[in-house]
Amino acid sequence: MAEGKPPYGDVHPMRAIFMIPTKPPPSFRDPDNWSPEFIDFVTKCLVKNPQERTKAADLLKVTCDHCWLAMV
């Protein structure tokens, strides 16, 4: 979505529904366009196992790793 289109936006929606849980999380086409902090934040959000995923409350805490989030 950060790049202007949803993951699997080029496939039929029903197929995308089945691809999302079985395929690895999407990655950036050109990671050099994004800060390492932003890539880290998105990577933490895209962990599929809820027990392993960083909690939303922890992501919202302003830390030096994600200081850009405070500007949003």
**Taking a C-beta distance cutoff of 8 angstroms, is the pair 2, 29 a contact?**
no
**Residue 25 in domain:** yes
Taking residues 26-41, what's their average pLDDT? 88
Into how many domains does the chain fold? 1
User: pLDDT band for position 24 (50/70/90)?
Assistant: very high
pTM of the model: 0.75
**Residue 6 in domain:** no
Burial of 71: CB neighbours in 10 Å, binned 0-12, 13-18, 19+: exposed
**Taking a C-beta distance cutoff of 8 angstroms, is the pair 42, 65 a contact?**
no
**Residue 67 in domain:** yes
Domain extent, residue 56, equals: 13-71
Specify the pLDDT at position 66: 58
**Residue 1 in domain:** no
